[in-house]
C-alpha cells in the first residue's frame, strides 16, 4: 500500500518584533537631533553668538592674569553657548505638541518616559557643537591648557548643563505657542547674566551676587574653570546643580503627564 505524501506546509512569516522602548527612545532622539542641527538659523545663532562674544571679550580682557583670563572667558562663553542650545532645544517640545507630532508618537507606542529621555539625549547632543566651537576658537587664539585639562573642562560643562536642558523642557511643556520660545530667550538671558557668564559676578550688587550663587549657571562655569586650571573643587556647585537637576526632573515628570493629556484633546 502506498502512502500519499503530505502536502507541503506553507511557511508562515514570523511576525516582526515591535521595537523596544530603548529603541524607540534612541530613534526619537536621533530624529530630534537631526531636525535641530539641520536648522541653519538655530546653529548659526548658537555658534556665532558665543564665539563672537568670546572674541570680543578676549580681545578686551584676555591678557589679564598672564593670559589666564582668556581661558576663563572661553569657559564662560562655552557655557553660554551650551546654555542657549540646551534651552532652545528643550522648547522644541512645544512645536511637537502644537503640530500634533507628540500625539502621534504617543499613539505609535512611545511612552512619555521615552519621550522625555529622548528629548534629554537630543538636547545633550545639540550642545556639543557650541562647546567645541568656542573651545577650538579659544585654543586657536591663545588659550593655554593641556589636552587633558581642555577636554575635562568641556566634559564638565557638558554634564553640568543637564539642569539647563531640563529648564528648556519644562518651558516647552508648560508654556504654549510662541510663549515657550520667548520664555526660553528670557530665561537664557537671566541665567547668563545672573550666572556671571557675560561679566564677573563680583561686578554686580550684593543681591545679584547672592541670587547668582543659587542658580546653576554660575557653578557650571566655576566647575569648568576648576577643570581647566585646577584649585579647590567647588563642592557647593555640585550640590546646587544636583538640587536643580532633581527638582527639575520632578517637574518634568509631572508636566509630561499634563503635556500628553493636552495632546490628546
Please give the residue that has the higher pLDDT: either 73 or 105. Answer: 73
Percent of the chain with pLDDT over 70: 86
Answer for the pair 72, 64: CB distance below 8 angstroms, yes or no: no
Answer for the pair 139, 50: CB distance below 8 angstroms, yes or no: no
pLDDT in tens, 84-114: 988 887 777 777 777 777 777 776 777 777 8
| Residue-wise DSSP of 24-90 | HHHHHHHHHHHHHHT-HHHHHHHHHHHHHHHHHHHHHHTTGGGGHHHHHHHHHHHHHHHHHHHHHHH
CA pair distance 68, 137, nearest whole angstrom: 15
Residue listed under C-alpha cell 543637564: 162
* Predicted structure pTM score: 0.84
Tell me the pLDDT of the chain averaged across its residues: 84
The closest of 193, 187, 155 to 169, measured between CA atoms, is 187
Q: Which residues are CB-neighbours of 87 under 8 A, at least 6 positions away?
A: 164, 165, 167, 168, 171, 184, 187, 188
All three cell numbers of 115: 519621550
Is residue 8's pLDDT more than 60? Answer: no
Estimate to the nearest angstrom the gap between the alpha carbon of 224 and the chain centroid: 16
Is residue 38's pLDDT more than 50? Answer: yes
Please give the residue that has the higher pLDDT: either 181 or 166. Answer: 166
The CB density around residue 15, as the number of other CB atoms within 10 Å, is: 6
Region of poorest pLDDT, from 13-17, 126-130, 212-216: 13-17
Q: Is the dihedral of CA 57, 204, 81, 74 positive or negative?
A: positive
Please give the residue that has the higher pLDDT: either 39 or 247. Answer: 247
Answer for the pair 97, 173: CB distance below 8 angstroms, yes or no: yes
Region of poorest pLDDT, from 3-12, 21-30, 218-227: 3-12
User: How large is the average pLDDT for residues 157-179?
Assistant: 87
pLDDT in tens, 172-220: 888 877 787 888 889 999 999 999 999 888 889 999 999 999 999 999 9
| Residue-wise DSSP of 89-100 | HHHHHHHHHHTT
Amino acid at each position: 500500500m502506498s502512502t500519499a505524501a503530505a502536502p507541503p506546509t506553507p511557511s508562515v512569516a514570523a511576525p516582526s518584533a515591535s521595537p523596544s522602548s530603548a529603541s524607540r527612545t534612541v530613534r526619537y532622539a536621533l530624529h530630534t537631533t537631526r531636525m535641530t542641527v539641520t536648522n541653519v538659523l538655530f546653529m548659526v545663532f548658537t555658534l556665532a553668538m558665543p564665539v563672537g562674544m568670546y572674541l570680543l571679550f578676549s580681545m578686551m580682557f584676555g591678557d589679564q592674569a598672564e593670559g589666564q583670563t582668556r581661558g576663563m572667558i572661553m569657559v564662560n562663553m562655552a557655557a553660554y553657548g551650551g546654555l542657549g542650545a540646551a534651552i532652545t532645544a528643550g522648547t522644541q517640545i512645544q512645536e511637537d505638541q502644537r503640530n500634533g507630532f507628540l500625539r502621534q508618537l504617543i499613539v505609535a507606542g512611545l511612552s512619555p518616559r521615552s519621550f522625555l529621555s529622548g528629548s534629554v539625549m537630543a538636547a545633550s547632543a545639540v550642545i556639543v557643537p557650541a562647546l567645541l566651537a568656542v573651545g577650538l576658537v579659544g585654543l586657536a587664539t591663545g588659550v593655554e591648557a593641556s589636552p587633558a585639562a581642555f577636554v575635562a573642562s568641556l566634559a564638565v560643562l557638558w554634564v553640568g548643563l543637564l539642569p539647563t536642558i531640563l529648564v528648556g523642557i519644562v518651558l516647552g511643556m508648560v508654556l504654549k505657542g510662541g510663549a515657550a520660545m520667548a520664555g526660553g530667550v528670557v530665561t537664557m538671558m537671566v541665567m547668563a547674566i545672573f550666572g556671571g557668564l557675560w561679566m564677573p559676578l563680583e561686578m554686580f550688587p550684593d543681591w545679584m551676587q547672592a541670587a547668582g550663587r543659587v542658580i546653576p549657571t554660575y557653578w557650571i562655569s566655576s566647575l569648568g574653570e576648576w577643570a581647566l586650571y585646577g584649585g579647590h573643587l567647588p563642592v557647593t556647585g555640585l550640590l546646587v546643580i544636583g538640587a536643580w537637576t532633581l527638582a527639575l526632573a520632578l517637574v518634568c515628570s509631572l508636566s509630561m503627564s499634563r503635556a500628553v493629556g493636552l495632546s490628546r484633546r
